[in-house]
């Protein structure tokens, strides 16, 4: 894919007039969908590269009961994908290319059943699911579209505060009115982890990951695995914009 014009300043790249993928203000984020096997991207078609190099093979949903204790992540594959991300950043690739690799790494390398990248809309009033990987990825993208409200939504709060958050009991979070409407019924995740993306003190988006398909509860090791890839995405915001 062609590189973006280098004359665009870093501040403009994440300004309210554009989202992190370069979609123009007012663009309908649902007007196009690009799918690369187990990774799909909903975005303005003109802002996204024509194709993803070496698209990952589809990964079958985990069986749960027959899954070996440590088979859910692949350390060697994690290192390989991180190296590929580093190479993308070294050649100033588009953010969208880096984000595709990060989401793929979280799914195939870190072993999360489902992964989603949400981005703040150009008017900075909402967050919306843009890039997803794994089983039931379209369910995630269709569900995650809410106003930013840190007072009653832990995703909004993480988005505004930064950092990462591991939630190991969604039922408790729902009872505390900390989750968006019908999260438990639609998403059906007993636990999940979320990590914010921020640039120059502005909220850009967040990564969401769970293991709802296999039913495996997410633990601190999963959070660390997620952080390896999220750190790459945060670095890309500084180097590729």
The dihedrals phi and psi of 18, each to the nearest 5 degrees, come to -140, 150
Cα→Cα distances 157→25, 69, 162, 205, Å = 24, 33, 8, 11
Q: Which span out of 31-45, 62-76, 174-188, 191-205 was modeled with the highest average pLDDT?
A: 191-205
Measured CA to CA in angstroms, residue 110 lies from 12, 97, 157 at distances of: 33, 19, 25
pLDDT tens-digit profile of 175-215? 788 999 899 999 999 999 999 999 998 999 999 999 999 99
The continuous run of DSSP H or E covering 166 comes out as strand 164-167
pLDDT value of residue 5: 35
Asked if residue 116 lies in contact with residue 137, where contact means CB atoms within 8 angstroms, the answer is yes
pLDDT tens digits along 94-146: 999 999 999 999 999 999 999 999 999 999 999 999 999 999 899 999 999 99
Cα angle: 197, vertex 198, 201; to 5 degrees: 165
């Amino acid at each position: 894919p062609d590189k973006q014009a280098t004359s665009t300043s870093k501040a403009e790249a994440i300004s309210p007039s554009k989202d992190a993928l370069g979609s123009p203000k007012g663009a309908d984020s649902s007007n196009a969908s690009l799918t690369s096997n187990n990774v799909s991207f909903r975005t303005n078609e003109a802002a996204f590269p024509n194709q993803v190099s070496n698209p990952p093979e589809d990964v079958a949903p985990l069986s749960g009961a027959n899954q070996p204790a440590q088979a859910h992540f692949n350390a060697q594959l994690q290192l390989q994908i991180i190296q590929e991300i580093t190479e993308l950043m070294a050649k100033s690739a588009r953010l969208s290319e880096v984000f595709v690799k990060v989401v793929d790494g979280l799914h195939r390398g870190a072993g999360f059943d489902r992964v989603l990248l949400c981005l703040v809309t150009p008017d900075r009033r909402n967050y919306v699911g843009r890039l997803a990987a794994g089983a039931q990825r379209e369910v995630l993208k269709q569900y995650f579209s809410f106003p930013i409200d840190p007072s009653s939504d832990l995703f909004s709060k993480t988005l505004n505060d930064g950092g990462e958050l591991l939630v190991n009991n969604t039922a408790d979070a729902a009872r505390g009115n900390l989750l968006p409407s019908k999260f438990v019924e639609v998403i059906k995740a007993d636990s999940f982890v979320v990590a914010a993306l921020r640039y120059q003190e502005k909220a850009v988006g967040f990564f969401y990951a769970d293991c709802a398909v296999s039913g495996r509860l997410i633990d601190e090791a999963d959070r660390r695995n997620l952080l390896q890839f999220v750190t790459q995405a945060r670095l890309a915001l500084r180097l590729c914009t």
